[in-house]
Chain A
Amino acid sequence: MNVIVPLVAGILAGVFLRDKRRIDLSKVIFGAIVALIFSMGFMIGSNNDLLASMPRIGGNAIVIASLVVFFSVVFMKIAKKVVRFE
């Protein structure tokens, strides 16, 4: 199933229901995140091959994260030069 559907449905529901009485959604988000991360951990833990490759994944992640941060700053600098905003 497409993941965009619930996101767009949520945005539309939010726009139409914004004046209704508020319920505290931060608890729902917290619960969903904990359940999601738990099941992700479960899927990693129950896969012995994946578990064995975690050190390599961690090493790769450090390289990618550093490059992502570096290029984000470089591109932002370029955009700033081109568009000349302060």
Chain B
Amino acid sequence: MIKYILVALVFGGIMGYLNNNFGSLIADSWISNYLFNFSLILLLFVMGFMFGADREAVVKLRRAGLKIFIVPFSITLGSIVGGLVGGYVLGLSLVGSMAVSAGFGWYTLAGPLVGRLFGSELGALGFVVNFLRELLTILTVSFMVKVDRYAPTASGGATTMDTTLPVIVRYCGSESLMNAFSSGFILSIIAPFTITTIATLPH
């Protein structure tokens, strides 16, 4: 999956560069208005559909108990504070960097969505930050698990329901499956809402 995404990103970048600098074959607005918005809306609809249609998801959530809310809630706060501190240190738009970190590692969503709400530069930042979050989670899992049983789950954010789940289970044991999955599931559901909510703050 990740290699197709990188190919699509690089190919899109090259096409955009050529189109812009060597005669416009297609209008930029066709891509940025139609293809971009259509695929974003389609993705959100289908993701929503899969959450809604997954009967077992609710059962899995119930089995994990009350902490299913406490863990992702603390990760939400931690991510946004991390974005706030990072934005302050780097002198970026504070609201923008908070929105970027509220993607919780879901870079295919956070990049385009932040780009739509804050412009292409922060959108690119949103993509890379969340992509690195997934990468960092995989690279540091053997260290993180020594810090705390839940540390890899906190590090992974929304990615712990799919891409980083196998790695976490491998290092933290199968009893971590429910907690990691439910935390990633809840963070995935709330990510579009947290990003859009943060975007309503004055910036």
Contact = CB atoms under 8 A, between A and B. Distances in A.
Contact of B51 (A3, A14, A62, A63): A14
Interface string A20-34: 000001001111111
Contact of A37 (B8, B37, B144, B193): B8
A36 B36 contact: yes
Interface residues of A, number: 68
* Interface majority SS (helix, strand, loop, mixed), chain A: helix
* Interface majority SS (helix, strand, loop, mixed), chain B: helix
A71 B86 CA distance: 11
A71 to B, nearest CB: 4
B71 to A, nearest CB: 6
Contact of B39 (A39, A41, A44, A73): A39
B189 to A, nearest CB: 8
Contact of B108 (A13, A36, A51, A75): A36
Interface in B5-52: 5, 8-21, 28, 31-32, 35-52
Nearest to A74: B78
Interface string A43-72: 111111011011001101111111111111
Contacts of B87: 64
Interface string B79-96: 101110111011010000
B39 A50 contact: no
Contact of B53 (A17, A28, A63): A17
A77 B61 CA distance: 21
B86 A32 contact: no
Given A32-B39, A75-B81, A7 B154 contact: no
- In order of increasing CB-CB distance, the 10 nearest A-B pairs are A14-B52, A10-B48, A41-B12, A45-B16, A75-B78, A46-B16, A68-B82, A79-B74, A45-B13, A72-B78
Interface of B: 1, 4-5, 8-21, 28, 31-32, 35-55, 66-67, 70-71, 73-75, 77-79, 81-83, 85-87, 89-90, 92, 97, 100-101, 108, 111-113, 115-116, 120-121, 123-125, 127-130, 132-133, 136-137, 140, 144, 147-148, 150-151, 153-155, 157, 192-193, 196
Interface of A: 1-4, 6-18, 25, 28-48, 50-51, 53-54, 57-58, 60-80, 83, 85
